[in-house]
Chain A
Amino acid sequence: MNDNNERRVVSVIVVNEASVLSRITDLFSGRGYNITSLTVAPIPESKYSRLTIVTSGSVRVIEQITKQLHKLIPVLRVYEHADLVEKEMALVKFPITENISDISAICNAYNGKIVNVGNDVIITMVADEPKRVDHYLEAIRKYNPKEIVRSGAVALER
């Protein structure tokens, strides 16, 4: 099999209850599965939360991950996405001395903008596909970013 360690996105709908998140992360660590990123938030007007987990593994591993997740009592549904819209966010802090208009132009190209300008720093935000966020972070390297935060992915089936 040459499908080893392919990147996969899995969504999990869980009942909002104490320690449900650690049940999920314990399952990954206990069984030696990998979590690349994880995003959680309550689903509005429901008693559920949605987790988006980016992971990697062979077809067999992913199948086990979904089955084992489903076995957890508070898990309602598990989707392994094939065709999806996926977004990630990055916040970057630059010295105020960098070229603001260049930075702003790059941000625009990646669905982003400058969100804060202070005395010493400017902060930008982009939200785009994970690959494109990679490219963005490449592109802004020469503007001496002081700090970068990246969120996990969120995804919806098309």
Chain B
Amino acid sequence: MQISGAQMVIEALIAEGVDTVFGYPGGAIMNVYDEIYKQDSFQHILTRHEQAAVHAAEGYSKASGKVGVSMITSGPGFTNAVTGLADAYMDSIPLVVISGQVPMSLIGTDAFQEIDAVGISRSCTKHNYLVTDAKDLPRILKEAFYIARTGRPGPVHVDIPKDVTAQIAEFDYNVELDLETYKPHVKGNPRQIKKAMEAIANAKRPVFYLGGGIINSNAAYEVRDLVHTTGIPAVETFMARGTLSYDDDLLIGMLGMHGSYAANMAMSETDLVIALGARFDDRVTGKLSEFAKNAAVIHVDIDPASISKLVHANYPIVGDIKNVVNEMLKLSSMVDSNNYEPWRETIENFAQLHPLTFHEDSENIKPQWVVKRVGELLGDDANISTDVGQHQMWTAQFYPFTRPRQFISSGGLGTMGFGFPAAIGVKAAVPEKTSINFTGDGSILMNCQELMTAVEKKLPVINIILNNNFLGMVRQWQTLFYDKRHSETDLSVQPDFVKLAEAFGGIGYRVSTKKEFDAALKEAVERNIVAFIDVKVERFENVMPMVPSGGSLFNMMLLEKKESK
């Protein structure tokens, strides 16, 4: 079939089963937008900023497990999207981002809205393409989707010059993929897996170290099986929240900088770390030389470059987590869960010694209370996204996650402004669940224009602003490590968040008591409407416990008995 490059883009998206595209038009991508206008196979969601188009696609992908798609124009459209690409790259989120480019004849002339897009995106994508001939488009688009979702997933960027979208060429999407240089290794080595199981059987104090790769590989339920049949306690990284349900007896909690005392102590005392889809991020390990110092390490990951990058793996296993865990399950009779009873008791003692908690306050609303309260009221019925800062850590610590893909947050890059557009994408993917975004008074202003997207497309995201009149997380570090010099973190001057929401056609609530909060949340859920709930919370609350950066996991700053300001 002879069609234009622009039509090819549409046909490819349809063939890939794409139902939602997030984007923002402009000159260089107009041919494609003209075709979008003519079709009704997928919906297009117009965000109000290209960064948000990519974050929304990330949220969509994380909630649904599908490849997220965004579409943007050249020059400023593309540069606006770069933060989103970098965010998706760091968190291994499968995306295909299509950008327009100036016509081939103008490339290299510093033309209007020209930028070396593939040059810029190279370092923050899994792969990228500049399409120079429409006849390559079917192959390139097919490769792009394949590369995005296989192996260690990630964003793929396809830059298409305007004249290529106009060019007519043959379209056949049944092209054979000829990627002889790209062959992800999905099946773990059986001998290594057997050896790993032997190591588990011989360990006295093993710990599962569960990472975000489990969620990417849709392996959470297999991992639950493995944890339960072996009876081995597990810690979760921030990115793995929801792999085990919050009420699972074998879940010790989140580890790392703001992990629980029990989780970090378990990691410090273990003799065998069983790392599944985790990459030993510095926010997780603390001081590397002290991390799980007396432990052997089993490391399962789809990405060979992640294995032994930071911590030497005694049992490296390259493969897809789901695949490897299924193989481990077949050998689970080698392991006797009774052997770990004393170890489970030790961990239970750690948990009782310093449980993850906070001090209630009769005057002020504590931010942690808000998170817990939303958990009590909505629990499993909500999908939760967050922005970046203290509120993000409190959400990870205190929300009762029951399932994978329930928690969506920017981990690797830590991008303020991620939460709201991501929540819009989540709502588009999973309309039957309430979409809650926990955000801060700093973060929400970074993409608040997305109120318009959410209102227009009737994607009722509820933004709960834990308003401490501070860039709280930075303020916390200033309090603890910079002698309380709160340089440029005071956000006392604020917009009226209620009016802001209303100005866009949403609804706003200002809340300063617990009762008001309950009422506001109930009403927002019932009215099913885009909302800001501006909650005045205790200003000087710190996220505790905390491992100061570069410190050892077992040297945590714990919640003080009396709070200091």
Interface residues of A (CB under 8 A from B): 14-15, 18-19, 22-23, 26, 30, 60, 63-64, 67-68, 70-71, 73-76
Contact = CB atoms under 8 A, between A and B. Distances in A.
A114 to B, nearest CB: 42
Contact of A71 (B132, B180, B303): B303
B305 A71 contact: yes
A23 B119 CA distance: 9
B565 interface: no
Contact of B147 (A67, A70, A73): A73
A76 B180 contact: yes
Interface string B181-195: 110000000000000
Given A26-B123, A30-B123, A73-B147, A63 B308 contact: yes
B179 interface: yes
Contacts of B180: 76
Interface string B171-182: 000000001111
B179 A67 contact: no
A137 B182 CA distance: 43
B130 A26 contact: no
Nearest to B124: A30
Contacts of A70: 304-305
B309 interface: yes
Contacts of B308: 60, 63
A15 B181 contact: yes
B118 A73 contact: no
Interface size class of B (residues with CB under 8 A): 10 to 19
Interface string B294-316: 00000000011100110000000
Given A64-B309, A67-B304, A22 B122 contact: yes
DSSP class of A's interface residues: helix, strand, loop or mixed? helix
Contact of B305 (A64, A74, A75): A64
Contact of B122 (A15, A26, A67, A76): A26
A48 to B, nearest CB: 9
A22 B119 contact: yes
B539 interface: no
B305 A68 contact: yes
B181 A75 contact: yes
Interface in B275-301: none
Nearest to A18: B130
Nearest to A30: B123
A14 to B, nearest CB: 8
A60 B310 CA distance: 9
Contacts of A15: 181
